[in-house]
Amino acid sequence: MGTSLTTASTLPKTVYLTLWFPLLSETFVFYEVQGLWKRGFPVSVVSLYGERKKYLAEHMRNTQVPVRHLGIPYILPIAAAVVGRLFRQPSLVGGILRKILFAKWRDMEMRLENYWAFCCGVYLADKFRKAGVRHVHGAWASGPATAGWVIHQLEGIPYSFTARATDVRPPDGFLREKLADCAFARADSSFNVPHMRSFLPPDKADKVHLVYNTMTMSAEATAPVPMQSPCRIICIGRLIEKKGFAYLVRAAIRLCEEGVPVEVTIVGGGGLMHALKAEAEPIREHVHFTGALPHDRIADMLRESDILVMPSIIPEGTEQSDGLPTVIVEAMRMGVPVVSTNVASIGDVVIDNETGCLVPQKDVPALAEAIKSLIFDRERALRLAANARALVNNILSEEKTLGRMQELFEANS
């Protein structure tokens, strides 16, 4: 039920819990919350950590959505809240604490994140009750969902959470409990729906819903995609292993060796910068690294590109992967042809030879051939891009995504 049918005063006061907000690498969270706020839905945000304003676009820095940051300045009041609540309700709080302490967290970073989430949940629970909060939503299935679970245990406020990528693959040590007690869980890609449902009994599987992320970029005009020599290839994302950027560099080397001129721009920062630059050394004059850029620069860069390549992989011996990379949807929205890999939910929107080119992960020859097939057939490239734009405008429309989230909040508050 949207705001046109429901007065703002009767809509459930809802708080999103995040680790950081806003964050450069989480534009999908920002635009979801911002979109709900613009619809008149009473939403606010509490970030469990402090502020990270580096590389943020101006409109993200100056959002009108109410945001409260916790983090280091709140250590003492949070500690006091935990001690006070433990003194008042030793059995209840002690039981919650034991479950958190002895859960089988997958690593020390996840353990510490969830210990802090427990403390924040205790601190926020009483405040949310007094403020009339009727629903709490964890923007991730990890620490934010744990904080929501703690608030629910203490005050009975319904909570939900979104599962995205590495927050559930591999799962943390408490995912089953969070799924069991949540009002609903949302997966932002089809890849995670059966995975999450596997933690629930069959009669509860329907509490997991597929709701794609909303659009993160407007596109009044499509990219021209001139496909003139050299072809301008762009890829965007954090420079981490699961993005597979090394395979694009190797494909670009292969294309240059075959006499196919390309210019590759890699947008993003991360720990693999030096390794990727070393990999690109044979064609260093054709591979450009920009580092991290504000989100409002991305639209112009996409508009000036011929092809977006997203060579995602699942690193050996892990479950880590992208769900549905936001940059793919942004490129499709702009009318930029896409080449990607058959990983996770990428196939939800990149349908081979219909809305883009989909190749096996880690297959450099196949990746190079897919890129070449678009370079030498601009008419096909434009047709695939037009199909892709129509698809994402349909399945990721603001009304479908934000409207569905609002319906779920209203039905579970």
Give per-residue pLDDT as tens, 388-405. 999 999 998 888 999 999
The answer to whether the pTM exceeds 0.75 is yes
Thinking of the domain 8-214+397-411, which architecture would CATH place it in? 3-Layer(aba) Sandwich (3.40)
CA 3 – CA 41 distance, rounded (Å) = 7
DSSP count for the chain of H helices, then E strands? 15, 13
Query: What angle separates helix 108-131 from helix 90-102, to the nearest 10 degrees?
Result: 150
Contact (Cβ atoms closer than 8 angstroms) between residue 357 and residue 347:
no
Per-residue pLDDT at 221: 74
Residue 282 phi, psi (nearest 5): -60, -25
With vertex at residue 25, the alpha carbon angle to CA 21 and CA 28, rounded to the nearest 5 degrees, is: 70
The answer to whether 8-214+397-411 and 231-395 have equal CATH topology is: yes
Write down the pLDDT at residue 8: 53
Percent of the chain with pLDDT over 70: 97
For residues 150-162, average pLDDT: 98
pLDDT at 266 over 60: yes
User: What pLDDT does residue 2 have?
Assistant: 43
Question: Scanning the structure block, which residue is given the tokens 């990379």?
Answer: 325
* Average pLDDT rounded to a whole number, residues 207-220: 87
* Least confidently predicted of 46-55, 276-285, 301-310: 46-55
Sequence ranges of the domains in the chain = 8-214+397-411, 231-395
Task: Check pLDDT > 70 for residue 57.
Answer: yes
Kindly list the distances between the CA atom of residue 278 and the CA atoms of 222, 255, 363, 364, in Å, as whole numbers in the listed order: 34, 18, 20, 17
Only one residue has tokens 């904080």, namely: 147
Quick check: helix, strand or coil at residue 379? Answer: helix
Residue from 167, 211, 138, 111 nearest 321 by CA: 167
CATH superfamily of 231-395: Glycogen Phosphorylase B; (3.40.50.2000)
Measured CA to CA, the distance from residue 341 to residue 366 in angstroms comes to 10
Average pLDDT value for the chain: 94
pLDDT at 322: 81
Six token digits for residue 104: 């089988």
| Contact (Cβ atoms closer than 8 angstroms) between residue 179 and residue 200 | yes
Q: What is the pLDDT at residue 3?
A: 45
As a whole number of angstroms, the distance between CA 252 and CA 254 comes to: 5
